[in-house]
Amino acid sequence: MEFSFRAFIVWAEPGIKDSLIIAGGMIMIYIAVVGGSKCSAEESRLAYEVGAAIARRGGTVVCGGGSGVMEAASRGAKEAGGMVFGILPGESSHEGNSHLTAAIATGIGEARNAIVARTADAVIAVGGEYGTLSEIALALKMNKPVVGLKSWHLTPPYSIETSMFVAATSAEAVERAFSSITG
């Protein structure tokens, strides 16, 4: 029996924080794009632009692997030559959208949102439903930077330190995500 192994090497900008994963001697950047499984045409366009911009900068898109914002970001990243990891809620890796590089079946439903948040170095939320809100909250709890693009606006009941930013454009969202994890 013969096995083969392919290593994906992603070049990153200088100054990346030491906590990022090293693969094949190179630093890989994982940016989650989260949002609703149903979205408006504008949210779909923004998610596509975000996915493509992440890929052009050498980042890997992480998402829930489904439809809506997730599919648009996946399509953008794939068409720009990038990698897309879909963390699926179901038990079959065949349930993900057709633009995923890797589909990871978890069988844990919405609890997979914690895996999406944990995997990411930064999170970009585009629009969103309650699942998106949970991913934002989990990422913030894990001290991950979050960028909202036409998404939830959170006001804590008391002063707590947060790394949530609001972006007006897809380019600004991607720039904020990368700059929040690079030195």
Buried b (16+ CB within 10 A) or exposed e, 20-51: eeeeeeebbbbbbbbbbeebeeebbebbbbbb
pLDDT score recorded for residue 182: 76
For the chain, the domains span 27-153+160-181
What are the CA-CA distances from residue 47 to residues 58, 81, 101, 174 (Å)? 17, 16, 17, 11
pLDDT score recorded for residue 2: 38
pLDDT score recorded for residue 26: 64
Task: Report how far residue 152's alpha carbon sits from residue 129's, in angstroms, rounded to the nearest whole number.
Answer: 9
- pLDDT tens for the chain, 183 residues long, are 333 333 333 444 444 444 444 455 567 899 999 999 999 999 999 999 999 999 999 999 999 999 999 999 999 999 999 999 999 999 999 999 999 999 999 999 999 999 999 999 999 999 999 999 999 999 999 999 999 999 998 887 877 777 789 999 999 999 999 999 975
pLDDT score recorded for residue 24: 57
Task: Report how far residue 98's alpha carbon sits from residue 3's, in angstroms, rounded to the nearest whole number.
Answer: 25
pLDDT score recorded for residue 6: 35
pLDDT score recorded for residue 17: 45
- Ramachandran quadrant class, 157 (left: phi over 0; alpha: psi -120 to 50; beta: rest): alpha
Q: Is 141 exposed, middle or buried (0-12, 13-18, 19+ CB in 10 A)?
A: exposed
Q: Where are the alpha helices (DSSP H) in the chain?
A: 41-56, 69-79, 112-119, 130-141, 170-181
> Is the CATH code 3.40.50.450 the one for domain 27-153+160-181?
yes
pLDDT score recorded for residue 157: 80
Amino acid 123 reads V
pLDDT score recorded for residue 1: 35
What are the CA-CA distances from residue 78 to residues 60, 117, 136, 178 (Å)? 10, 21, 24, 19
pLDDT score recorded for residue 183: 55
Secondary structure of 62-89 in the HEC alphabet?
A: EECCCCCHHHHHHHHHHHCCCCEEEEEC
pLDDT score recorded for residue 161: 75
User: What is the reported pTM?
Assistant: 0.86
